[in-house]
Structure 1
């Protein structure tokens, strides 16, 4: 610990206060000309390749008098002799490369020896051989060396193919290190063959505690960083650039999958699929100079799909809306999103596809397996759009909440209008070719359909109004962001349904549709239908309470809503596999004695969702009553069901108990 510089502080210094020894750390004021990112506290502390500095460049001078490059796969190459033990033994820069331009023979680091942990005795210091190691791998060992004596072995062949220090006689390299033994071997022509040297590990800092300017020139530490940004963009995979750069993408029409996003040849039709090997991929990608010059030809990718033309259409000629009109339209669109979600789910369950495709059951190499795979691919696309619509329903309600309005989660009626221009209303049906065409029409982007009254067109109009009338919408930033998300995903839905049509093009409806009946056929079906309705009621109640409580829910209820949605999906898949159409019916809370709240049976409900007089918005009584009632229904199912269904009931009950506990914490 250092005492502060006299006169540098005005108040008494606490006992034990630690003061920085490093001049850079002492510069606690913002130095003129230095960006805020240069401050130590702003760093993300990446080690390699690093955003502040590349530590390989710091360790290049770990052995005094030598400059070593750790950047190459072949090994760690000696770049310069600047003095120290090497110069004392007559090694000069002339010894670094004794070959010809056609056959270079540089000098490499073959081995390193030194203590790396404080509990190691001098006699136990490890030896790190460069054999079968890249420069980076050897650097990781060099990085761990503690202050003190270090021995190195230099040789003429690349470190990765060198003999390391296995051949060093008389006790090995650590014995030479502790004895302070040095030796240089040259051939008859005076060409250096190998050398063993020792020295104390470099400190890197000068007497003032700053990085030694005599060793490191300006720019040395930031050399080889991720600059320009295209270098990092090319080299780092999606797990690093997760939000910005995909590795694999799908064509804009959704037909061609597993495409290399950075592929150099973008003219082939169909596009060439990606290959699995890293070395092979790199040969087909933009190299670094090409990516710097052509990065802007890479398309936007949304939900894994490439799209070169994603932009808001120009509806500047539309009359802006008032705040009241915006709220009214959003409340209508909440009902539309809910209706579309249920229509898409019904269509998904109507497809004769399992929840998970198993190649062991359906061999894609057989005609039956290929057909099953196409149906599964179509079902997966439809379900993904349904999930997006549920997310849109949440976003629209978040927008309403931002505008001071309560959530709108009422189940859609048969007279809920989805397309004002055509008058099409909510009507869940199997995914026949005609129904699929309706889905494509409703999701067609306004820029394509030129219909400002379509769903996409209405969101565009809302977006334009909110952005250009800030006096009416002080919440414009939040609102415009959520609406833009819905617009972008809606454009993707159009392409997804087009892909569904391609998947099913060669199949007849009889080949891919399940026959679904509206009435349960067995006592087990009756109970499963009722449990499905209970889960639907729980889902809407949990989502409603989450929206009402906002950030105060701590994510607990939204997690329970997600689990309930998963359970509902599993139940409806089971019903569909048994030939029973799904029921999306919200059950009302009914008064009951002793504080209990049993609810009406779903078995007598119709196949179409209908509005029900339930509790007041946001009070959660219907969801809580449904959760409590579901336990009795599961007991009835367990008495009727086979083992697989019983296991599912046990899993679902645990989630329901968690939901009851979450509501109980209100």
Structure 2
């Protein structure tokens, strides 16, 4: 197979499977069109609509349009009448399919071939008619506009299209200025495959059959929000000059300055203002690169080794100190691990302070629904912070550091903030908005926003250090990717806390907050507080184990840590419903001055001690007589036993069971 010359300016995929005349080793049978699902929507092997772009020899047709099936080019065979060619196709006077004629069922005779008037149809409606055409002679009428003729004035050629097809007399009619008024073209329907049985390489470009699927990306890119495309697609960004802080990234109007994003009050009108599926397939390259939550007017420069290099705004964040060394980056990440842990705990406490149940009943009133919606936003940010703690520890492991589970006592923003557990008052919520604000929203001047002392600004500084000098860092690509994930999610946190303000707008603190006491009013609540602390202790211990092993446990410990998180969350909701907030007491091995680098920490000793303490508290709770608490204690103990069994397997020892609450098999009931 001769090597194809590379295209100028861009790289395009070469669909070798489509060009192969044999079964390519390693490719499933479904990857070949004759064996693949006849799929007309995103997903699976290929998009049938793209096969029909070349259904008529010499024409290329775009069906991914709302205004009709547009003719993109007129080239090649057969020779068209009246010198009809590519010069007749222009953006100023585009041509569309106006009518079709051909046999659509095997029992039809030539005289019965169906004529379809495509006036008023969108591109996909036209494609459905094209897809029905059987092999054999077909006729196509093209005109400048798909809706030029009303139903009352259908051109005579549409009514006579089958007669023209059978007579084999194509025609082109032009206006006085030489532009095409209409053209009727006749030929045999183009086959999909060549004589060797593979997709015709002269008719289809490499990669063309999959361009509108969920992969490579165009369709999903429009439908899926930034939670799915976290590192690739922002939903809302700011303009290139910083003058408009919130703009819709997928807006159709690409003029300057862009209009502010009003998605919260547009409802269903939002999609009408965004690029369509067809727009993304054709014009995806109009979307700009976004760095530091700001659209960039020019592509990013390329640094050593081909890595994308941020612009001057990011490089300026390095300050006058020059390039950061791996040791300096590791020191900063150690500090940020404590910040992520502290923010997670503060957000969780704020979540529990909202007067809403963990699961919203159908009978909930408007006040409860608003408080619950606000609480879910806060909780989702807390979960993200825990994930950031994991990513920071992965980055630290790449730099040769031990895991960091410490919790910051102070957080530096514009002022120094002391970490405390407080309810979600108005002032507290505003501080959450401020601490999570992207750098461009943290200063008084929106045009010159860089703030390396902000939380996200500190990560931006680290990212710039890695991508500018990847030769200094082990696993530089992976390290930069992890840091970028944290930066992207951090900007989304600001938007979520803004949404919380919207949910609570007009409500008083007395309406949406619970009164959370710091002491237990009875023995049962005191035991629940103790169990909350023991669960927190177990969770931190298993996280340390997971971070120490760098996923050599096959994800088993991380899955167990998620179970412990869910159990602690359920328990803390029980406490909040009783009017008491969780204490989040740090275990002794994480207190200042404790030997957290103790080698014995890696053998699971802290986890087993905390699990045994938790089991003793659960036994006490089960003995107090509350049936629902007893059932919860039994469920949670099963998860803890599964955790200990996983640790034992990893250490090569026998599983160790802790005393179970009464009623649990193997327990005392």
Alignment of 1:82-101 (within 5 A): none
Equivalent residue of 2:105, what SS? strand
Does the aligned pair in 2 maintain the 1:54–1:224 contact within 8 Å?
A: yes
242-251 vs 531-540, greater mean Cα deviation: 242-251
Matched residues in 1 for 2:284 and 2:208: separation? Answer: 23
2:17 aligned with 1:38:
no
Alignment of 1:422-461 (within 5 A): 422-446=415-439, 448-449=442-443, 452-461=452-461
Aligned to 1:399: 395
Pair 1:578–1:251, CA change in 2 (3 A): farther
**Residue-by-residue CA offset, 1:363-418 (whole Å, 9 max, x unaligned):** 4xxxxx3xx34433432332232222212222221222111111111355xxx232
**Residue-by-residue CA offset, 1:575-629 (whole Å, 9 max, x unaligned):** 111111202134469xxxxxxxxxxxxxxxxxx9888778733222222333344
The CA deviation at 1:359 is: 5.3
2:372 aligned with 1:376:
yes
**Residue-by-residue CA offset, 1:541-592 (whole Å, 9 max, x unaligned):** 2211111111312111111112211221121111111111202134469xxx
Aligned to 1:13: none
Does the aligned pair in 1 maintain the 2:563–2:639 contact within 8 Å?
A: yes
Counterpart pick for 2:223 among 238, 250, 260: 238
Aligned to 1:487: 487
2:520 aligned with 1:525:
no
Aligned to 1:112: 105
Matched residues in 1 for 2:273 and 2:335: separation? Answer: 52
Aligned to 1:595: none
2:597 aligned with 1:621:
no
Alignment of 1:19-168 (within 5 A): 27=1, 37-41=13-17, 45=31, 55=48, 106=99, 108=101, 111-113=104-106
The CA deviation at 1:656 is: 2.3
2:365 aligned with 1:362:
yes
Pair 1:274–1:556, CA change in 2 (3 A): farther
Aligned to 1:542: 542
The CA deviation at 1:260 is: 9.8
The CA deviation at 1:432 is: 2.8
Aligned to 2:512: 512
Q: TM-score, normalised by structure 1?
A: 0.61
Matched residues in 2 for 1:483 and 1:105: separation? Answer: 53
The CA deviation at 1:469 is: 5.1
The CA deviation at 1:521 is: 2.1
Aligned to 2:554: 554
The CA deviation at 1:234 is: 6.7
Counterpart pick for 2:344 among 334, 341, 352: 341
Pair 1:556–1:443, CA change in 2 (3 A): same
**Residue-by-residue CA offset, 1:212-234 (whole Å, 9 max, x unaligned):** 7xxx96458987874999x9847
Aligned to 1:417: 410
Matched residues in 2 for 1:545 and 1:334: separation? Answer: 16
Matched residues in 2 for 1:68 and 1:301: separation? Answer: 37
Name which one, 1 or 2, has greater alpha-carbon Rg. Answer: 1
Does the aligned pair in 1 maintain the 2:425–2:509 contact within 8 Å?
A: yes
Pair 1:260–1:645, CA change in 2 (3 A): farther
Pair 1:579–1:225, CA change in 2 (3 A): closer
Unmatched runs of 5 consecutive residues or more in structure 2 = 20-26, 34-38, 70-96, 108-115, 117-123, 142-158, 167-188, 297-309, 444-449, 651-669
Unmatched runs of 5 consecutive residues or more in structure 1 = 1-26, 77-103, 115-129, 157-187, 196-200, 364-368, 590-607
The CA deviation at 1:529 is: 1.9
Pair 1:642–1:219, CA change in 2 (3 A): same
Pair 1:530–1:324, CA change in 2 (3 A): same
Equivalent residue of 1:665, what SS? helix
Counterpart pick for 1:660 among 644, 647, 654: 644
**Residue-by-residue CA offset, 1:460-502 (whole Å, 9 max, x unaligned):** 4434444455564344433333333333433443444444445
Does the aligned pair in 1 maintain the 2:250–2:274 contact within 8 Å?
A: no
31-40 vs 539-548, greater mean Cα deviation: 31-40
Matched residues in 1 for 2:563 and 2:328: separation? Answer: 35
Pair 1:109–1:559, CA change in 2 (3 A): farther
Does the aligned pair in 1 maintain the 2:221–2:233 contact within 8 Å?
A: no
Matched residues in 1 for 2:588 and 2:333: separation? Answer: 25
Equivalent residue of 2:547, what SS? helix
Matched residues in 2 for 1:550 and 1:235: separation? Answer: 32
Does the aligned pair in 2 maintain the 1:259–1:274 contact within 8 Å?
A: no
Matched residues in 1 for 2:164 and 2:643: separation? Answer: 74
Q: How well do the aligned residues superpose, as a CA RMSD in angstroms?
A: 6.0
Matched residues in 1 for 2:468 and 2:291: separation? Answer: 28
**Residue-by-residue CA offset, 1:67-99 (whole Å, 9 max, x unaligned):** 9999699999xxxxxxxxxxxxxxxxxxxxxxx
Matched residues in 1 for 2:485 and 2:196: separation? Answer: 54
Does the aligned pair in 1 maintain the 2:139–2:162 contact within 8 Å?
A: no
Q: TM-score, normalised by structure 2?
A: 0.61
The CA deviation at 1:663 is: 0.9
